[in-house]
Structure 1
């Protein structure tokens, strides 16, 4: 069947999945901005303390994602999506109670961060594995591009709204917004009519629970392209979280930006990510998958160099930060579209939940380590020098990736349709 661009606009269940997640992302990004700002402005956290708070939020990606992938494949992806959203609503309600009763401490904020991160990790694993259930494989790049557009627009709206709510009202207002967005997502998910096929246990597994949980890791590691994407994604995430940990303190204490201004920087810096979601499929058709991935992540890896250069008059510093974030978002969004599409297309659908969980466990598991590293660099070297070291680490990781990935692909020819350049294969087989 010939692929026609834009077919997903007429796909009822995809629209429900997309709109529900898009609304919930606005609340999520508001919370993601407000959470570290509360630690910096309300708790007066040091760089290391802020790193620990951020690490608590992302530690579940390392500790629990494999288990989440196993249960997503076993009980179904939609039940896990709905349950995770309900649990996140309850966790945020507890955060509001802490704020309103004056019981907020660094340690209690770490507990809230860990619980919230646990159910976010479960949701993310189930969501990425649920999209191929709702849409056909030939629609994966378009579907992922639309979701990346939602991530970008939601970051723009959520960050700006979160910063404004924190400045004008209170952190609790941002968390209440997030609770409402999760409720909307639950309603949208329950309205989807597509039913997941009941599957036998994924091929290649046995009755041992530990073997089932590590099955995704084995499949992922045996595919050379996915392995290269995994290693680059892991290093990038480590550097990214170190950068973000230092940036919050740099913006508030060194550039003297308030919560509203920080939110505005992040919001304006998200415009590049919106552009990336628009051009992602076209770049892949023109350049091929390997070149698109290398150039995109190279742009994202080089842009953090501008952050420690943001100094002097405040408007100059803000302009450099916004430029850096736009280049960063443009490159990272294009990379994410094709990174995810490769993983979905090269994996047996019966094992996709576990492969996604394995990828998330390793790649996102670098986030808590990056948060701690960023905090320690800030205390040991100073915030600005720490930012410089992190920017250099971004570039070093990209250089190794750029020398490795193209050799793993055959010379690609531009595809006539916005689908992954590599045909769908079972993970573990050599790249085509």
Structure 2
């Protein structure tokens, strides 16, 4: 259990930030359900156009992660966080306004996807740099644990809430709820009372290229961070590889009902919530590096239960339990990894290293998804899921132990 001097309990500024973040995360989970529905039902988008919205988000992240990371690095983080939340509010609020006026188009949805992706990069880079300044180093694990726990909770509850809101308010009305959630996030940052440290000063002697890739250079030269990045990208890619195939496996091969599939997509995320809250205890007992190693070693093997499952209630339990245990240890590993990375990264590189993580994840995941699809086409969905489980388990082997 977290000792008093490592807990953020009673830290009023963090509590305000955490509350705003939780509301924004839940709103975003609602928006993930509502936006594709708006595209299909309001502007009559084709399947290709709906896929294009996702592709635009990935392309924006790949192209802008490094430039935005450098841009955010040398600016105050709170105004950046507020500006990105207000921008996302304006973008999403424009959807119900345009729909009410009868002028909503697919092109507008594309612009919103690009702007939201850019804002997400900038917000993530600023918020991770800001958290290190907001709480002391010995409180980072507990702070990240709490932030990670609400993220997993929003993943678990958000789609169900989003589906319910779409039924009550329509998809357009649900996007209005998502928009308002970003205003709450901006307000939370605005109410922080502690002074924000001055941003780092740009080194005028460094070239544009050196500034742009400084985060990458730091990660490459830091032995532990380099291995952690490789492990994280591999695990995240394998997770995407499995997620892309799992729907076919659940619904066709295991013949689960739609409601059972919905349970598998939501309830296991509670494991991530529990794992995130477990992280401070693991770090207190083992230290950050060993805690990350153990959590990562224990997260992948559980995924083998999914492709080993059989049709019927037993198979449903195998899939739900296996996925829940994967997310339990993933939640613990993610909180520990983020805290260790923040503690090790120099203050003048915080935003650029955070942007590097976004870039690496976004660029590699489509490659893993394509690989999973090819394996499923060649050998079947079950074989593809076994391959994903093997890669997940292997991702931990590169991590440092001490």
Do they fold alike, i.e. is TM over 0.5?
yes
Q: Is the 8 A contact 2:156 2:267 kept in 1?
A: yes
In structure 1, the partner of 2:235 is 236
Aligned with 1:9: secondary structure?
coil
Aligned with 1:75: secondary structure?
coil
Tell whether 2:399 aligns with 1:399. no
Q: Is the 8 A contact 2:92 2:175 kept in 1?
A: yes
In structure 2, the partner of 1:270 is 269
CA–CA separation in structure 2 for the residues paired with 1:121 and 1:6 = 29
| Shift of residue 131, structure 1, vs aligned partner | 0.4
| Shift of residue 346, structure 1, vs aligned partner | 0.8
In structure 2, the partner of 1:126 is 126
In structure 2, the partner of 1:326 is 324
Higher mean displacement: 157-166 or 62-71: 157-166
**In the superposition, relative to structure 1, how do residues 262 and 396 fare at CA in structure 2: closer, same or farther (>3 Å)?**
closer
**In the superposition, relative to structure 1, how do residues 188 and 246 fare at CA in structure 2: closer, same or farther (>3 Å)?**
same
Aligned with 2:197: secondary structure?
coil
Q: Is the 8 A contact 2:124 2:354 kept in 1?
A: no
**In the superposition, relative to structure 1, how do residues 358 and 206 fare at CA in structure 2: closer, same or farther (>3 Å)?**
farther
For residues 397-422 of structure 1, the C-alpha deviation after alignment (integer angstroms, 9 at most, x for no partner) is 532532x3235x2xxxxxxxxxxxxx
For residues 306-355 of structure 1, the C-alpha deviation after alignment (integer angstroms, 9 at most, x for no partner) is 44456634x55654443233112211111111111111111111221122
| Shift of residue 252, structure 1, vs aligned partner | 6.8
The structure 2 residue matched to 1:45, chosen from 44, 47, 50, is 47
Aligned with 1:237: secondary structure?
helix
Tell whether 2:93 aligns with 1:93. yes
Q: Is the 8 A contact 2:307 2:385 kept in 1?
A: no
The structure 2 residue matched to 1:366, chosen from 348, 354, 364, is 364
For residues 379-405 of structure 1, the C-alpha deviation after alignment (integer angstroms, 9 at most, x for no partner) is x458xx346425423423532532x32
| Shift of residue 14, structure 1, vs aligned partner | 0.9
**In the superposition, relative to structure 1, how do residues 253 and 114 fare at CA in structure 2: closer, same or farther (>3 Å)?**
farther
CA–CA separation in structure 1 for the residues paired with 2:389 and 2:278 = 24
CA–CA separation in structure 2 for the residues paired with 1:78 and 1:22 = 17
In structure 2, the partner of 1:20 is 20
Aligned with 1:234: secondary structure?
helix
Mapping 1:296-307, distance limit 5 Å = 296-307=295-306
Q: Is the 8 A contact 1:13 1:193 kept in 2?
A: yes
In structure 1, the partner of 2:284 is 285
Q: Is the 8 A contact 1:36 1:54 kept in 2?
A: no
| Shift of residue 147, structure 1, vs aligned partner | 1.0
| Shift of residue 18, structure 1, vs aligned partner | 0.9
In structure 2, the partner of 1:349 is 347
| Shift of residue 79, structure 1, vs aligned partner | 1.5
CA–CA separation in structure 1 for the residues paired with 2:112 and 2:310 = 34
In structure 2, the partner of 1:177 is 177
Q: Is the 8 A contact 2:245 2:373 kept in 1?
A: yes
Cα RMSD (Å) = 3.4
For residues 152-190 of structure 1, the C-alpha deviation after alignment (integer angstroms, 9 at most, x for no partner) is 222222132123334555333432221121111111110
Aligned with 1:8: secondary structure?
coil
For residues 197-223 of structure 1, the C-alpha deviation after alignment (integer angstroms, 9 at most, x for no partner) is 2244256x7342222111111111110
Q: What TM-score comes out, normalization by structure 2 length?
A: 0.84
Q: Is the 8 A contact 1:305 1:388 kept in 2?
A: no
Q: Is the 8 A contact 1:8 1:139 kept in 2?
A: yes
Unmatched tracts of structure 1, length 5 or more? 410-432
Aligned with 2:384: secondary structure?
helix
In structure 1, the partner of 2:211 is 212
